[in-house]
Amino acid sequence: MNVLFALATGVMFGMGVFQLLRRDLIKAAMGFYILFAAINLLFLAVGAYDGTAPAYVDASNQPDGQPSDPLVQALILTAIVISFGSYALLLGFIAASSRRFKTVDSNELDHLKG
Amino acid sequence: MDFALVVAIPFVLGISVYFLRDRLRPVQQGLLLTAGMALLFVFLLAQLPRVTEQGALEFVAPWMPQIGLTFALYVDGLGLLFGLLVTGIGSAVMLYTGCYMDDARQAGRFFALMLAFTGSMLAVVLAGNVVVLFIAWELTSVMSFLLIGFKGADDEARKGALQSLMITGGGGLALFVGLLLLGNAAGTMQLGEILSNGEALRQHPWYGAFTGLILLGCFSKSAQFPLHFWLPQAMNAPTPASAFLHSATMVKAGVYLLARLYPALGDTALWNAALSTVGLATMLVGAVLALRQRDLKGILAYTTISQLGALVALIGQPESAGLKAAAVGIVAHALYKGALFLIAGAVDHTTGTRNINELGGIGRQMRGLAAATAIAGLSMAGVPPLLGFVAKETLLETVIQQPLALAVVTVSAALTVTAALRLFWDVFMGAPRTRLPQPEHVPHDRHHPFGDDAFDYSCCHDLPPLMLASPGTLATLSVIAGVALAPLMAPLVSAAIGKQVSLYLFPPSGVNLALVLSGVALALGIGVFAVRRVWLKWSIPVPVSGVQVYDGTIRAVESVGDVLLKMQSGRIRYYLAVILFSVLVLLATAVPNIRIDLPTPAVQLTTAAHVLEAILLVLALAATLASILFERHLVAALALGIAGYAIGGMFLLEPAPDVALVQFLVETLATVLIIIILARTSQDERRRAMARLWGQTRRGSGARPCRVHRHGRGSRHLCPRRREQPAHTGRYRRMAPGECASAGWRQRRGRGDSHRLSRHGHPD
């Protein structure tokens, strides 16, 4: 399973970078989101052990079997929230750029060039 | 303590005169400053006996004790000689400037810079710590830059200013490194200790390094060949600044430092060879190039270079043999060259030109000026009993044993005689030119320093006495110093070089070789002058001039800058790609250290959960790929949502139901969010952005935003009325009236051609 995950994470990263570098800023934001998804996959893959039961349950109601690794789940939870926040911010910037400069093409946003 | 005041007073005076510039006329400013400088001169002169008796006086104040840096002054005969030069020539120049500058505000600014320079220069010659010396040294370069560029509206002035700063500042950097190495080698930054440590320093393994760097700094400052070319360019400065900085004082800072460090570093094979070679080459080159100049100040600049070369060569003589001649030469040169510069300025001021070809015969009107020029010129030519003669004699006596040096000195001296004759004869004597350019720059009432009717002042009348006073005094001093050698010059020179010397006008033993050669040089110079009609027509081919090399270097630096600028596309994508690539390179360096242990078996698909997980993984990848491949944003966003849900499914299988719940929630929100954003950006903009994947923007391509019918920002549609505008260019073709509007729209999308033709069948 690990090899599949490793390959998938790599491919996902590659696709994310590709999408991130596109002219279209909305597509670039999507690329940004793909990168976050790839990171979530990575976290999922590096769990210390495979479990058969959820980690976070009522102690009195603990199902049978090995609980899954809680550490990576905590990390993934944090990552999901942060990625969504950044994504929303990014899309907000794009909306502002569209309103102000009437474009979502990053090549046309060359005001940095003197 | 009192010497610290000597350094501080010019700065204080400069600032005060700057703030008083609206209240005082230029002449009053000049008189005030002359008084200040003269006081400093008298004070320094009064220290001479004390220094002669006690040796060097040192003054040390803590500056930055944490790093052991002190503000130290070291006053010995050499420092005093230069200090006297700075304040003495300074007083004369200040007096002159008061009449030279017409506008009080300009004069105030100019005086402030000149005084700041005076203070810096005094700090250079009185510094007792190499760090203090270096800072003051750089300050003089900066002040020189500001003064050369004083007429900032003038292109040439700015160019000359920048060039001089580049050369002297670049040399200053070399000097800085050299001084730091020297301080390190000596174990102290105090000049006094360095000077008493000469034996050890000359044996030091770094001797070549720090001496070379220090020499480079000194040569650049003192305009030695091949770095001499900045000095003629510096003649764009107002004439008083040229007289003060670029002849009498600042350019001698290099000579000063060489003489200063002679006890510590001097008299080795490297030192003597470098100084005599460079010095003699400079002497000859300067004297030859001076002949070709038409500008009065150009002639003076090149003869100054020649004289500086002589001074450097003298300091390169073994066993301190040249120091006496150098000290005499410094004083003599400052006196006559300062006077001549001021005279050139006066000629320019009254006639409106400095071009020697346009001048002639003005001595009839300006008798006083002509007389001063004659005296100063005689000193420059080395005619007894003037100080210039003594300087030339001591110089010739010093190199009497070296045939090559003797030849160079004699030829240079002869050419200097020619230059002096040209300055006097071709300007003041001979046939008057019929029409002189008028000095346009001066409204005449401005010219009257003491009221409207004090002088009848039209073109080519004589100068106001004050303006004549300075060059006159300097020229007279050349005579007095030449005659009164024993009481005046001998103590000064003795103090400067630290041992008793005797000076004489004529050798006590009768005629010697030096005297003969001096006569030969004089005759030769007059001869060359007599046939000037012939050689003035010659064109001396210069294979490559320093200015060309400098300009080429600047151009090369600029073109490198252009290449670097091309790398700055201003496009965010480009920078992002560079950043990502750099991260990749950094990560790649870690690759050799990575050990990969494949689990066995590498792929485990035994349970149903595993199989399901693999299916979801493939689904996530496929959906992501789809989101990239689909051009339409809405579809792409939905595909991305599917990928997110697939990943959420994997969380569910982990099993981590709570994480999966969050993932589903966030994924839904993200998809909703992007759809909102799609609604807030116009489809037009998005279509334009995705027109090409990686290509450059083509401003005229793609759908343009409609500039006529401005939409609200929520609109996602092309302007419905655009089809009625025939003026759209670029990919849109101009539509004929009655042409199918929807076909036009489709054609714009790039797939309507066949449709349009089939429906309408326009034969064209």
Query: pLDDT digit string (tens) for B705-745?
Result: 444 444 444 333 444 444 444 443 444 444 444 444 444 44
Residue B173 in this model has a pLDDT that exceeds 90: yes
Pick from B610, B644, B689: CB nearest A23? B689
Look at B620 and A40 and tell me if their CB atoms are within 8 Å: no
Lowest mean pLDDT among B136-145, B275-284, B305-314, B559-568: B559-568
Q: Chain B: nearest CA to A60, how far in angstroms?
A: 18
Query: What proportion of chain B, given as a percentage, has pLDDT over 90?
Result: 23
Residue B755 in this model has a pLDDT that exceeds 50: no
Look at B604 and A1 and tell me if their CB atoms are within 8 Å: yes
**What number is the average pLDDT over the span B450-468?**
51
- Residue B479 near chain A (CB below 8 Å): no
Rg (CA), chain A: 19
Packing angle of the helix pair B387-398, B465-483 (nearest 10 deg):
40
- Residue A61 near chain B (CB below 8 Å): no
Which residues in B lie closer than 8 A to residue A84 (C-beta atoms)?
666, 669-670
Query: What proportion of chain B, given as a percentage, has pLDDT over 70?
Result: 85
Could you tell me the residue ranges of all domains in chain B?
A: 1-164+227-260, 267-435+461-527, 543-583
A–B interface: beta-carbon pairs under 8 A: 184
- Residue B670 near chain A (CB below 8 Å): yes
B319 Ramachandran zone, left/alpha/beta (phi>0; psi -120 to 50): left
Pick from B610, B669, B693: CB nearest A84? B669
> In the prediction, which pLDDT does A12 show?
94
Higher-pLDDT residue of A23 and B214 is: B214
Residue A7 in this model has a pLDDT that exceeds 50: yes
- Nearest CA to B470 out of B23, B18, B27 is that of B27
> Which tokens in the block code for residue B671?
């998809």
- Nearest CA to B365 out of B449, B468, B441, B494 is that of B468
Residue-range domains of chain A with CATH:
2-56+67-108 (1.10.287.3510)
> In the prediction, which pLDDT does B311 show?
92
> In the prediction, which pLDDT does B386 show?
86
Lowest mean pLDDT among B9-13, B105-109, B358-362, B687-691: B687-691
Q: Return the residue in B668, B680, B681, B696 with the most chain A beta carbons within 10 A, the one to mutate for interface testing.
A: B681
- pLDDT band at residue B145, thresholds of 50, 70 and 90? very high
> In the prediction, which pLDDT does B425 show?
85
Q: Which residue of B has its CA nearest to A19?
A: B628
User: What pairing do the DSSP bridges indicate for beta strands B69-75 and B57-64?
Assistant: antiparallel
Look at B678 and A68 and tell me if their CB atoms are within 8 Å: no
**What number is the average pLDDT over the span A86-113?**
84
Residue B536 in this model has a pLDDT that exceeds 50: yes
Look at B685 and A98 and tell me if their CB atoms are within 8 Å: yes
- Residue B697 near chain A (CB below 8 Å): yes
pLDDT digits (tens, 9 = 90+) for B466-486: 788 888 888 888 888 888 877
> In the prediction, which pLDDT does B708 show?
43
> In the prediction, which pLDDT does B447 show?
44
Residues 515..574 of B with a Cβ closer than 8 Å to A: which? 568-573
> In the prediction, which pLDDT does B1 show?
59
> In the prediction, which pLDDT does B446 show?
43
Pick from B604, B662, B673: CB nearest A91? B673
- Residue A78 near chain B (CB below 8 Å): no
> In the prediction, which pLDDT does B733 show?
43
Pick from A15, A40, A112: CB nearest B570? A112
Please tell me the distance from the alpha carbon of residue B227 to that of residue B167, in angstroms, as a whole number: 7
Look at A110 and B570 and tell me if their CB atoms are within 8 Å: yes
- Distances, alpha carbon B636 to alpha carbons B457, B558, B629, B630, B678, in Å: 88, 47, 8, 6, 11
> Quick check: helix, strand or coil at residue B411?
helix
Whether pTM > 0.90 for this model: the answer is no
Pick from B655, B674, B681: CB nearest A98? B681
> In the prediction, which pLDDT does B704 show?
44
Q: Which residue of B has its CA nearest to A67?
A: B655
Please tell me the distance from the alpha carbon of residue B390 to that of residue B63, in angstroms, as a whole number: 43
Residues 607..666 of B with a Cβ closer than 8 Å to A: which? 610, 613-614, 617, 620-621, 624-625, 627-628, 633, 636-637, 640, 643-644, 647, 650-651, 654-659, 662-663, 666
> In the prediction, which pLDDT does B640 show?
93
> In the prediction, which pLDDT does B106 show?
83
Burial of B511: CB neighbours in 10 Å, binned 0-12, 13-18, 19+: exposed
Residue B425 bridge partners (DSSP): none
- pLDDT band at residue B687, thresholds of 50, 70 and 90? confident
Query: What proportion of chain A, given as a percentage, has pLDDT over 90?
Result: 35
Look at A54 and B658 and tell me if their CB atoms are within 8 Å: yes
Average model confidence (pLDDT) across chain B: 81
> Quick check: helix, strand or coil at residue B209?
helix
